[in-house]
Amino acid sequence: MHDVAAHDDSKGQYFWVWGALLILTAMEVALAYNQVFQPVAMLQVLLGLSIVKSALIVAYFMHLKFESALMRWMLVISVIGLFAIMYFFFFPDAGRILRLGVR
């Protein structure tokens, strides 16, 4: 198959990614269980860590790092756009309701 990359066939790589994912999960649980941050900051930190975990899964397990550049960039740009909309337009609305209150 011409689309199978030869350089990523190492099993070791997948075990490293798995280990990194477990460590990131442990970090998330430790931060949240000890309630190190307040809700809004906690959400930002957890989302940040989740994005890193998702990037690892998509790049290595779903093989996107080794796919054609067009597919990779289309997906990455859509996801970044999605997060930009969420972070810059949606979450300020959620935070504003706390300051303005509800009648």
Partner 1 sequence: MAEATLQHDAAAVHGLAGEYEAPLFGAYSKKVGMWLFLASDSLTFGALLFAFSYNRISNPAWPTPFGKESIANATLMTGCLLSSSLTMVLGVLAARRGDKTWTLNWLLATMAFGTAFLVLHGLEWTRLIDHGMTPFGNPWEPGVPQFGGTFFTLTGMHMLHVTIGVIYLGVVALRKKFLPILAVIWIGGYFLIPSNNIFHYGIHALGIGLIVSALILFLKPKIYDAQDIEVSGLYWHFVDLVWMFIMPLVYLMSTKI
Q: Encoding tokens for residue 67?
A: 């796919």
- Say whether residue 90 binds partner 1 (CB under 8 A): yes
Phi then psi for 16, rounded to 5 degrees? -60, -45
Cα–Cα nearest to 59, from 1, 19, 14: 14
C-beta of 99: minimal distance to partner 1 in Å?
A: 11
Among 11, 12, 88, 103, indicate the residue that binds partner 1 (CB under 8 A): 11
Residues 39-78 that bind partner 1 (CB under 8 A): 39-40, 42-43, 46-47, 49-50, 53-54, 57-58, 60-63, 67-68, 70-71, 75, 78
C-beta of 18: minimal distance to partner 1 in Å?
A: 4
**Residues 7, 91: Cα–Cα separation, whole Å:** 41
Helix (H, G, I), strand (E, B) or coil at 10: coil
